[in-house]
Structure 1
Amino acid sequence: MSDVQLPLGGASFDGLVKIEELAGQGMITLRGDLTDKSIVKAVKDVFGVTLPGVRQTALDGANGALWMSPDEALLLCPYADAQAMADALTDKLSSAHALVVNVSDARAVFQLKGSMLREMIAKLAPVDMAPDAFTPGMVRRTRMAQVAAAFWMDDATTARIVCFRSVAGYMFGILSTSADEASAVNHFTR
């Protein structure tokens, strides 16, 4: 597999939170009946995780699964392994009604780190970011300003955002504006 070419060349910004464009995230879209036992078993066999429930994540080291809709999951793995894992999953699902697509090169991923990430995300997405309403282990597929995105929290001060590669520059711009020190509204406790 060729080297990863980041849309923004590894852009970063440090303000209310630290924003970094991440390299090398393998991402596979799985479409099908996520309750089908053959699909659940195939994901467990290939990725080592159980498909999560509604608006949940199942993360185990470099591999994981994110609930995207009743018939869609986004599977995470190391970038270098993405095509092989997509092929292995396709083989295991040969008799199931399912679609498996390696979308690694069609997406951009940003990591946010800092205690103000809830406030920052709340300015951009119509999601209740209160600590008791959105917790690590949850995922939201939504809009951030004018673009489609998904985000989840790895822990209380770390979140990841996925968007289409074609809007990576716009996403980085709105994230940076939202994280600018001058834009703090101090709604959530630091």
Structure 2
Amino acid sequence: MSNLVSALNGVKSKGFAEVQELGLSGMITLRGDLASKEMAACMKSLGAAVPETRKVAFGDAVSVAWMSPDELLVLCDYAKTQEVQAQISDALSGTHFLAEAVSDARAHFRISGKAAHEALAKVMPVDFSAFEAGDFRRSRLSQVAAAVWKTQNGDFELVCFRSVAQYVFDVLTTASVAGSEVGV
């Protein structure tokens, strides 16, 4: 039997911002009618809400990110992914939806420190200085797709495809080299 490992095995670097790969994270892509009463009930059963456009709804056991007008990303404990996916399927039974676990296809990072927004601003075309807790964007990180949000404690979290995890870590590490702050 093989051992489960994350893309970068929890690697971290420290400059003016700390970059850390968060290890195995549960992620479920959920597509459907986000405005339906069934979707609202589903999210309530998970302990979160359907997030507003470009927002993340934080719950006790799950967080839910708005990905597009008909798509959410449900984040949960890796060990609970199948259980959460089954709960979603039960709650939305009889409606048109798709709930697919994508945990093993993604990498999850935390960018922290009082100047974390500066490291991100150097590599993504987003005004991170205006970000508030729960704000969310899908964009490009240098040459690859990524999704980023600000957590309730002021850190940033980012997900990307697992296949580009090393590249993303290297770009973020380079962007957070002490002494290269831009002062935004």
- TM-score, normalised via structure 1 length: 0.91
Amino acid at match of 2:81: A
Amino acid at match of 1:25: S
Indicate conservation of the 8 Å contact 1:4/1:23, yes or no.
Answer: no
CA distance in 1, matches of 2:83, 2:9: 25
CA distance in 1, matches of 2:144, 2:9: 20
Amino acid at match of 2:173: S
Q: Give the CA deviation at 1:92.
A: 2.0
Indicate conservation of the 8 Å contact 2:47/2:61, yes or no.
Answer: no
Indicate conservation of the 8 Å contact 2:9/2:23, yes or no.
Answer: no
Task: Report Cα offsets for 1:84-117 as digits up to 9, x if no partner.
Answer: 1102211221211110001111110011110111
Amino acid at match of 1:181: A
Show the counterpart of 1:166: 163
Show the counterpart of 1:61: 60
Task: Report Cα offsets for 1:12-54 as digits up to 9, x if no partner.
Answer: 1000111111023111110111001112211221x21111101
Q: Structure 1: which 4+ aligned runs deviate by more than 3 Å?
A: none
Amino acid at match of 1:24: L
Percent identity of the aligned residues? Answer: 43
* 1:83-162 → structure 2 map (5 Å cutoff): 83-130=82-129, 133-155=130-152, 157-162=154-159
Unaligned segments of structure 1, at least 5 residues = none
Q: Give the CA deviation at 1:60.
A: 1.9
Q: Give the CA deviation at 1:182.
A: 4.0
Show the counterpart of 1:176: 173
Amino acid at match of 2:167: Y
Q: Give the CA deviation at 1:156.
A: 5.9
CA distance in 1, matches of 2:96, 2:110: 34
Q: Secondary structure at the match of 2:104?
A: helix
CA distance in 2, matches of 1:31, 1:3: 30
Equivalent pairs counted in the alignment come to 183
CA distance in 1, matches of 2:26, 2:59: 14
Q: Give the CA deviation at 1:121.
A: 0.7
Indicate conservation of the 8 Å contact 2:34/2:40, yes or no.
Answer: yes
- Give the root-mean-square deviation of aligned CA atoms: 1.4
Show the counterpart of 2:13: 13
CA distance in 2, matches of 1:81, 1:70: 26
Indicate conservation of the 8 Å contact 1:135/1:156, yes or no.
Answer: no
Q: Secondary structure at the match of 1:181?
A: coil
